[in-house]
Chains A and B, each alone.
Chain A
Amino acid sequence: MGDKQSHIFDTVKNYYNNYGLRAKELKGEGKQFIGYVCSLVPLEIITASGCTPFRVRGSVHEPITRGDTLLETIVCPYYRSVFDLSVKGKYNFLSGLVIPHGCDSMVRSFSAWSYGLPFSYFHFVNIPSVCDESSLEFFDAELDAFRKSLEKFTGKAITEEHLRQAIRVHNENRDKVRALYEMRKADPPLISGTELTMTLTAGSSLPIEESNGLFDQILTEVKGRGKSPLKKGPRIFIDGACLDNIELIKLVEELGGNVVADTICNGARDHFPKTEMGGDPISALSRRYLGKINCPKTYRENKAGTFEGDIASRFGDIGAYTKEYKVEGAILYVYKYCDPFGFEVPARKAYYQSLNIPLLPLEDVYSSGTIGQLRTRVQAFLEMIG
């Protein structure tokens, strides 16, 4: 990064550091924000209802204290932190919260959330664990139930036209994210991983139109750079669940690596798949969220009959991204106590090996206290591939 910080990145930083700033402002103007965790909540339905989806975040800097009253410490530390901040009142400006069936901890803690927080609206979206025709039909019905529950909450009908319009703006948002990722293809990339993750995180706290506007400004800014502010270094890919604090990515970049692509929840996993336009909007959404979001939570049948064939189909998107972004090394960052990702670690390792991409697997506890430990591992890894 150059000495001169641009104005627009200051805005991003501000939204990132004071997460929820804009929501608090807009709440004063009568806007309702609906919180959500996990990439599996269909945001378009919230937008179509006239409310604004708001991704609830954790903090690696804040020790978990209050949350432990109501939630066991055997839950993944990321989710514990999100819960802890919530019960401490950090997100009290929200009007409601939607939790999907992303993992066991989300299911088992739904009551703790819905009884423990002062929001007037709570909803649980059940997500099938398998992806076949009958699951999609079921999911259509489940999303329709979600739509109805929001209608009841807002007292306004959510029409097909509302849904189509919401799908359109969310797809636009995804196009802009893609365009931002394009900026990473240069070597060195025009935008750092730290800047990009901060931008996307800030975006997930804004109404979708504002998020679109912000991304446009960032794009203009980055394109205007012409020359990269970064040094050449190993091109690193980040794999894992939700990484909504930039510490790891920042660490990689401080140590001389450039984060150029990812498949994290608040990155490509969430932002790349688009919703089909035309046809029934609910059905299009169910196909996007169940079919296209590549989350380990969803079981996909091994049709190849071999292990190699199976991982090639399950993790094919990773292979495509690593090629597209000319990746030289990958970090698989998994939280302790995360069953969906944890059980895939050996298979993912094998897949990276088949791609001939060196991999650094990390198991971490979502606390800035572990940065020292991570530093040695990341530095050694960069030395190893450099």
Chain B
Amino acid sequence: MLTRQERTPIIPEEEQATKYQIIVNEDWCKGCGFCYSFCPREVLEKSTRFNSKGYYPPEAVNIDRCVGCGLCEALCPDFAIHVEEKKAKIKAKKGDK
């Protein structure tokens, strides 16, 4: 058995903090709350400002905790959320091809 100190974290916190961004198309949001209610990492929260339809869109308050699982994007009934890896990573991906 490895002790806790010996294990390498699978997702190093410092790397994680720069990895993902959540883009919200606020005006498409109808405020259903699915995204922030079911985010497994509590990244999203209901914001305090109205969008043009009068709903409170979500905002990523803990983006450094995001693991890019995409559940918020998948659950959004209005295609208003987009989760993507940050540009540095995207570049690397393109380079792979």
Binding between chains A and B: no
Contacts from A to B (Cβ < 8 Å): none
Contacts from B to A (Cβ < 8 Å): none
